[in-house]
Amino acid sequence: MPELPEVETIRRTLLTGPSAPLRAGASAGLRAGNRTAPGLVGQRIVGVSLRWPRHIVAPSPSSFRRRIRGQTIQDVSRRGKFIHIPLDRDSLLVHLMMSGDLFISPAGIARGRHDHTIFQLESGWQLRFSDSRKFGRVFLVPDPEEVLGSLGPEPLSDEFNTPDLLRILHYRRRSLKPLLIDQAAIAGLGNIYADESLHRARLHPRRGSHTLEKAEVKALWNGIRAALRDGLRHNGASIDWVYRGGDFQNHFRVYGRAGQPCPRCGTAIERTIVGQRSTYTCPLCQPWKAS
């Protein structure tokens, strides 16, 4: 599932257009011959094609088609793992879930096999939502807080500090890994960046959140922000064919590296299951401490 750095990378591309000409036949939206796609801001939506209507959570697909027609894109932002596109009257919200991708394509390019939801733009371009597993979710609402209001704080925002994290950890009293990927606790983290953050902080994923001391909370806060910023520098991770070419997977410390040496101490990385998720740790750097 795309996490904060992957979703943010897609947002930036939609906002400004790709930094290089699009190439025919490439994945993740690079399907436009040698033309360079524009950014979305200022583009007017003149229609939408819904090959998989179940993408649309609210309103009904028929109402969705009517309401979005004629609205102009004002901005492209992100909240947690959601891409938020403010329009004239409504907000368009897209959650990519496990395999989704949003990209800009000329209208004349053949629809890809998994391009299920396509927004027609007055300029002759299209905003396409490709989703091979069809788990993605799309909302059109007058108030984005209807969808985003339950999300926790943004971990890279200036307003998110160590006292905030301390309150979250001590109030919720859960194992660290399941808490970190709970979007109501902290928005944007998933399996990859939780594991990478915990390794940086030298904390075991089963550790009770309420048992952390202030120095450990500070280390976790630093670890979360460092892992996310590192992911952003590398345009996220490309661990499935649907993603758009980031290379953070080549810089993982622990995630997906079972049996390989820890970059800090050389001990073999272990894979376990925590909260029904594959979890990767260094047994020496992240010793288990019973809650």
Tens digits of per-residue pLDDT, 187-199?
999 999 999 999 9
From residue 253, alpha-carbon distances to 2, 217, 231, 266 in Å are: 18, 20, 12, 11
pLDDT for the residue numbered 242: 53
- Range 115-143 average pLDDT: 95
Q: What residues contact residue 151 under an 8 Å CB cut-off, 6+ apart?
A: 79, 80, 82, 183, 184, 187
- Of the pLDDT bands very low, low, confident and very high (cuts 50, 70, 90), residue 40 is very high
Residue 226, φ and ψ in degrees, nearest 5: -65, -40
* Catalytic residue check, 3: yes
- 11, 78, 81, 207: the active-site residue: 81
How far is the C-alpha of 220 from the C-alpha of 215, rounded, in Å? 9
Between the two ends of the chain, the Cα-to-Cα distance in Å is 30
pLDDT for the residue numbered 289: 75
* pLDDT tens-digit readout, 85-102: 999 999 999 999 988 899
* Catalytic residue check, 218: no
* pLDDT tens-digit readout, 48-64: 999 999 999 999 999 99
Q: Please check the confidence at residue 22 and state whether its pLDDT lies above 50.
A: no
Q: Please check the confidence at residue 231 and state whether its pLDDT lies above 50.
A: yes
Closest CA to 4 of 97, 98, 78: 78
CB atoms within 10 A of CB 88: 12
For residue 261, give the DSSP letter: B
Of the chain, the percentage scoring pLDDT greater than 90 comes to 80
Q: Full-prediction pTM beyond 0.85? A: yes
- 2, 5, 144, 178: the active-site residue: 2
- 44, 59, 277, 283: the active-site residue: 277
How far is the C-alpha of 1 from the C-alpha of 39, rounded, in Å? 24
Give the residue, 36 or 177, on which the prediction is more confident: 177
Q: Domains in the chain and their CATH numbers?
A: 4-148 (3.20.190.10), 162-281 (1.10.8.50)
Q: Please check the confidence at residue 19 and state whether its pLDDT lies above 60.
A: no
Q: Please check the confidence at residue 23 and state whether its pLDDT lies above 90.
A: no
Closest CA to 79 of 27, 15, 11: 11
- Of the pLDDT bands very low, low, confident and very high (cuts 50, 70, 90), residue 34 is very low
pLDDT for the residue numbered 1: 74
pLDDT for the residue numbered 21: 42
Burial class of residue 50, CB neighbours in 10 A (0-12, 13-18, 19+): middle
- Range 147-176 average pLDDT: 97
Burial class of residue 182, CB neighbours in 10 A (0-12, 13-18, 19+): middle
- 3, 6, 8, 196: the active-site residue: 3
